[in-house]
Amino acid sequence: MNISYYIEKGDYKKALILINKALIGDTSNEKKLFNKATILYYLQKYKDAEKNFMQLYGKNTNSGILFYSMALVALGLHQKEKALYLLELSYLNGNNESVYKIINLLFTRNGICDYENCKECCCEKIVLNGYNGKPIKDQQTFEKLISNPKQNNAWVKITENKKNEWIFSCKNLGEKNLCKTHNSRPEICRDFPNGILSLKPECSYFFVLSENKYKFRTKQTLDVVLDILTEYKYDNERQIIESYLRN
Ligand code: SF4
Ligand code: SF4
């Protein structure tokens, strides 16, 4: 079995053993170093992941994906300012997905899940997005998604919609919309909705602008963020961000 097999199955400890072996005698192989750093990130060994990503920083391999991965590590280390800086670099180097992560950083979630009265039933019928940010339509993308230890591995495909997007339900969903594993539910469930843009219309959570007034390094990124907020009809939030950032 190769390293990708163990990564896709979520066996990161085994993947780490194999990548360490693969790096013996090939210590500056950039692809292998990137893989090792990613595996360390999945294992939540953020400091080690950071050290490994730093070996790639400034080596002509600086790409949107590298900066994005480094930003995720910074978030794991609770370094939000640094994460924003890296996400901007990621966006400026071609990774559009970074902008959505930046918007998540600007807002803080409040409230609780009113599952008993909620009409959304988000554990019962949901379209899941894969790593490319697009709805899942095939088994491979689904397996890759649930290989992340933070994900919910109790999703089951129940049907497809007209756009061939897979619709999932959860094996842990009990009577009256109650989660049977509420106290030990996966991180992805605890974090949902994980950003203002994924907030469902009937959801009892709400988002407020973070007290930390983040500084953008470039006008280009700021403009894209503001445009997305307008697209999602968050005009007030847009104005507030605009006023404190442009002044
Ligand atoms: S584990 Fe619980 S909270 Fe998460 S999707 Fe399943 S039922 Fe919902
Ligand atoms: S939409 Fe919000 S309130 Fe409704 S079940 Fe999902 S998280 Fe809970």
- Please give the single-letter amino acid code of residue 98: S
Q: What is the pTM of this model?
A: 0.80
Tokens of 169: 């339900």
Residues ≥6 apart with Cβ < 8 Å to 104: 194, 195, 196, 197
Q: Which fold would CATH assign to domain 3-110?
A: 1.25.40
Average pLDDT over residues 170-198: 86
More confident site: 181 or 149:
181
Taking 70 as the threshold, does the pLDDT of residue 61 lie above it?
no
pLDDT at 209: 87
Helices and strands per DSSP (H, E), number in the chain = 11, 5
200 CB less than 6 Å from ligand 2?
yes
pLDDT in tens, 203-214: 999 998 888 878
The closest ligand to the CA of 173 turns out to be 1
- Please give the single-letter amino acid code of residue 222: L
113 CB less than 6 Å from ligand 2?
yes
Q: Specify the residue for token string 């961000």.
A: 241
Average pLDDT over residues 133-159: 87
pLDDT in tens, 226-245: 999 999 888 988 988 888 77
172 CB less than 6 Å from ligand 1?
yes
Pocket test for ligand 2, best of 110, 113, 116 (most atoms within 8 A of CB): 113
| Domain assignments of the chain as residue spans, ordered by start | 3-110, 126-191
Q: Report the candidate in 35, 43, 50, 46 with the shortest Cα–Cα distance to residue 3.
A: 35
pLDDT in tens, 99-141: 999 998 999 999 988 877 888 878 888 888 887 667 899 998 8
Average pLDDT over residues 7-26: 89
Q: Report the candidate in 106, 65, 51, 63 with the shortest Cα–Cα distance to residue 84.
A: 106
Residue of minimum CA distance from atom 8 in ligand 2: 113
The closest ligand to the CA of 178 turns out to be 1
pLDDT at 60: 62
Residues ≥6 apart with Cβ < 8 Å to 147: 7, 8, 9, 10
Average pLDDT along the chain? 88
